[in-house]
């Protein structure tokens, strides 16, 4: 099966890292297509960045449908465009935030999220609520790292994230850590070993969940709130996005 992993931002090094993480866990029969949209922000660090990024995400899902993709991963911790993507896709679409949070509940009673800039905590907080995780999520901890700081080879990002994870364990009594950015996809194994508790990373988890759903024959429900978009005209720069049929 072909799974498309969409990095909603346009930073190629991050897409490469995401691809590597996805391929490392994919089943032999799975082929990973990692995509950066042709349009969008260099990084997503707020509601505005996220809202604009959705266009590129949906463009990639639409291409994926033409291309026979069995399912999709949205590889940004805000799960941008998730519901809209589900309307367009036949197969399952899984966001990395929902993937990581749901998976964490199977191995720990309560987890903390460790993320990048403080301003993104509002996004995580809304998702915690949206996914019914209020009683499972102890805290959302920001570091002072921007998303692109995670791309600097030899930078201090790894050290700062590790320290924040330890604070979550000691101060909040976190039983597991959920990593709050797709740019941390290469850190979970080492972090898990160092901390000695589950460190759940969304990209890898979402890939396995899509494999799971596809292998079980579960596709997106087309009754009700996730039915295919109604055919209609769109105007201007987004004309090509019209769900004609």
Q: Rule CB under 8 A: which of 98-157 touch a copy of itself?
A: 98, 102-103, 105-110, 118-119, 121-123, 126, 129-136, 146
Query: Taking the complex as a whole, how short is the minimal distance between the CB of residue 67 and a copy of itself, in angstroms?
Result: 19
Q: Which residues, 6 or more positions from 243, have their beta carbon under 8 angstroms from its beta carbon?
A: 88, 228, 229, 230, 231, 232
Residue in this structure with the two tokens 């899984």, named with its chain if needed: 94
3-state secondary structure of 176: strand
185 and 18 Cβ atoms separated by less than 8 Å = yes
Query: Using the rule CB under 8 A, is 187 a contact of a copy of itself?
Result: no
Query: Taking the complex as a whole, how short is the minimal distance between the CB of residue 23 and a copy of itself, in angstroms?
Result: 13
Going 127 to 130 to 136 to 138, the CA torsion angle's sign is positive
Closer CB to a copy of itself, residue 8 or residue 161? 8
Q: What single DSSP character describes residue 33?
A: E
Q: Which of 68, 153, 154, 236 binds a copy of itself (CB under 8 A)?
A: 236
Which parts of 193-232 interact with a copy of itself (CB under 8 A)?
196-198, 200-201, 204-205, 208-209, 211-213, 215-227, 229-230, 232
What separation in angstroms does the CA of 230 have from each of 9, 31, 47, 91, 243? 28, 31, 26, 18, 7
Query: Taking the complex as a whole, how short is the minimal distance between the CB of residue 28 and a copy of itself, in angstroms?
Result: 9
Closer CB to a copy of itself, residue 4 or residue 136? 136
Which parts of 21-60 interact with a copy of itself (CB under 8 A)?
25, 27, 37-43, 45-52, 54-56, 58
112 and 177 Cβ atoms separated by less than 8 Å = yes
Query: Taking the complex as a whole, how short is the minimal distance between the CB of residue 177 and a copy of itself, in angstroms?
Result: 10
Count of residues that bind a copy of itself according to CB under 8 A: 99
> In whole angstroms, what is the distance from residue 231 CA to residue 178 CA?
39
Q: Which of 8, 92, 180, 183 binds a copy of itself (CB under 8 A)?
A: 92
Closer CB to a copy of itself, residue 18 or residue 133? 133
Instruction: Tell me the CA end-to-end span of the chain in Å, nearest whole number.
Output: 26
Query: Taking the complex as a whole, how short is the minimal distance between the CB of residue 41 and a copy of itself, in angstroms?
Result: 5
Cβ-based neighbour number of residue 206 at 10 Å = 31
Q: Which of 152, 156, 238, 244 binds a copy of itself (CB under 8 A)?
A: 238
């Amino acid at each position: 099966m072909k799974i498309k992993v969409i990095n909603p931002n346009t930073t190629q090094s991050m897409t490469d890292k995401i691809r590597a993480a996805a391929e490392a866990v994919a089943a032999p029969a799975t082929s990973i297509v990692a995509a950066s949209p042709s349009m969008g922000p260099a990084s997503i660090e707020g509601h505005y960045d996220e809202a604009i990024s959705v266009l590129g995400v949906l463009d990639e899902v639409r291409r994926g449908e033409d291309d026979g993709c069995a399912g999709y991963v949205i590889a940004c911790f805000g799960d941008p465009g998730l519901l809209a993507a589900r309307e367009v896709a036949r197969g399952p679409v899984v966001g990395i935030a929902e993937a990581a949070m749901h998976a964490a509940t199977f191995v720990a009673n309560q987890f903390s999220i460790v993320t990048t800039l403080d301003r993104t905590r509002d996004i995580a907080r809304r998702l915690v609520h949206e996914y019914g995780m209020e009683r499972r999520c102890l805290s959302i901890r920001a570091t002072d790292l921007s998303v692109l700081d995670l791309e600097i080879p030899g930078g201090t990002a790894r050290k700062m994230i590790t320290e924040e994870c330890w604070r979550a364990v000691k101060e909040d009594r976190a039983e597991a850590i959920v990593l709050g950015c797709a740019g941390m996809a290469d850190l979970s194994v080492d972090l898990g070993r160092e901390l000695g508790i589950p460190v759940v990373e969304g990209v890898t988890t979402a890939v396995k969940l899509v494999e799971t759903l596809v292998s079980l024959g579960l596709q997106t429900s087309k009754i009700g709130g996730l039915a295919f978009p109604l055919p209609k005209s769109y105007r201007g720069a987004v004309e090509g996005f019209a769900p004609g049929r």
